[in-house]
């Protein structure tokens, strides 16, 4: 089982408009809603890959109830064959902690003329000390059955900035590999707790290290405490600096599309490859293929299965020499 933690879950609303014009009224041509927040997005991709996943974090109010109802609709009745191409989805188990506040909404407005997306993100509910304590107890219980854990996304109001560091230490004490995917001060604090992996994008990496040169910044991030750093370089793929070596993976060609959720798909690829015991090059191939297939998907945040299977063997891998490490 793979555990994902989303402290600031969201109900994702997507509105499509023919053209987004500032200061104007718009007629929505299409609308969708789904359970969101980075860890829930990761869980959805893991499920599609055939991995049984448990999600925890916070949910509350009418929005939280709607999120949980949609989440229940994602879970299939029959388990799948983990990692098999074309496999049926695997179960997603709801282990969210109920809070008094109302779960946030995120609103994406997609301009169909240009493909550009404008995102509006609410801050999330105020979480009390008792609710945080309940989450910690739930998390400790779930770690006992986890093969890996992903800690993902922003912190809701009321949660201390060192929360992810606390969760990383608990996972390491339990002997469960932990991937941290957040930004800003929560990432800075969390990396000091020595997670097995972090997956910053180029902007997050620059904010952490002060450098925009990918190799220098990624190696600097690893010196700060993470065992492995997987830097997401957008259309240029991913750079991995790990105890076993340094690799760069890139899609066969640049693609146009909506990048929403591409980073979460990459996290799912890395985690699934970890629990399946894949080599680093194969983990990176999967992560880049999934990320690219998400950009190509007609539905924001989902990956195009046919594109993923076509891209997977075509992802380029470059191994850096030992002298570059």
> 126-135 pLDDT, tens per residue?
999 999 999 9
Look at residue 77 in the predicted model and tell me its pLDDT.
42
- The DSSP letter of residue 178 is E
Look at residue 109 in the predicted model and tell me its pLDDT.
87
Average pLDDT of 30-36? 88
Look at residue 300 in the predicted model and tell me its pLDDT.
66
Look at residue 2 in the predicted model and tell me its pLDDT.
98
What is the Cα–Cα distance from 277 to 227, expressed in whole angstroms?
17
Residue from 181, 196, 264, 302 carrying the catalytic annotation: 264
- CA angle (48, 59, 89) in 5-degree steps: 10
What is the Cα–Cα distance from 251 to 26, expressed in whole angstroms?
36
134, 200, 286, 313 from 281: Cα distances, Å: 39, 19, 9, 11
DSSP letter string, 241-306: EETTEEEEEE-SS---S--TTHHHHHHHHHHHHHHTT--HHHHHHHHHHHHHHHHH-SSTT---HH
Look at residue 82 in the predicted model and tell me its pLDDT.
47
Residue 88 has pLDDT above 90, yes or no: no
Look at residue 323 in the predicted model and tell me its pLDDT.
41
Look at residue 79 in the predicted model and tell me its pLDDT.
45
Identify whether 196 is a catalytic site residue.
no
């Amino acid at each position: 089982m793979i555990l994902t933690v989303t402290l600031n879950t969201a109900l994702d609303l997507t509105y499509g408009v023919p053209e987004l014009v500032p200061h104007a009224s718009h007629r929505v041509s299409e609308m969708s809603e789904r359970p969101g927040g980075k860890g829930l997005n990761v869980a959805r991709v893991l499920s599609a890959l055939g991995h049984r996943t448990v999600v925890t974090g916070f949910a509350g109010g009418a929005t939280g109830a709607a999120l949980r109802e949609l989440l229940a609709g994602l879970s299939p009745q029959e388990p799948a064959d983990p990692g098999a191409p074309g496999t049926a989805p695997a179960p997603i188990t709801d282990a969210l902690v109920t809070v008094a506040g109302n779960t946030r909404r995120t609103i994406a407005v997609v301009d169909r003329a240009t493909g550009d997306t404008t995102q509006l993100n609410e801050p999330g509910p105020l979480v009390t000390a008792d609710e945080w304590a309940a989450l910690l107890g739930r998390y400790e219980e779930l770690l006992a059955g986890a093969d890996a854990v992903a800690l993902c996304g922003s912190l809701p109001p009321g949660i201390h900035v060192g929360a992810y560091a606390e969760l990383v230490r608990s996972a390491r004490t339990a002997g469960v590999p932990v991937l941290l995917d957040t930004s800003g001060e929560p990432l800075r604090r969390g990396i000091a707790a020595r997670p097995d992996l972090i997956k910053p994008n180029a902007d997050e990496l620059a904010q952490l290290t002060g450098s925009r040169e990918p190799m220098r910044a990624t190696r600097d991030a690893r010196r700060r405490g993470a065992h492995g750093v997987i830097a997401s370089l957008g259309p240029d793929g991913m750079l991995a600096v790990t105890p076993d070596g340094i690799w760069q993976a890139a899609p066969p060609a640049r693609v146009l599309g909506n990048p929403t959720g591409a980073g979460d798909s990459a996290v799912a690829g890395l985690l699934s490859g970890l629990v399946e015991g894949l080599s680093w090059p194969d983990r990176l191939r999967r992560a880049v293929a999934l990320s690219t297939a998400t950009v190509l998907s007609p539905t924001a945040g989902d990956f195009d299965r046919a594109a993923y299977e076509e891209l997977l063997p075509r992802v380029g891998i470059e191994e850096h020499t030992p002298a570059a490490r």
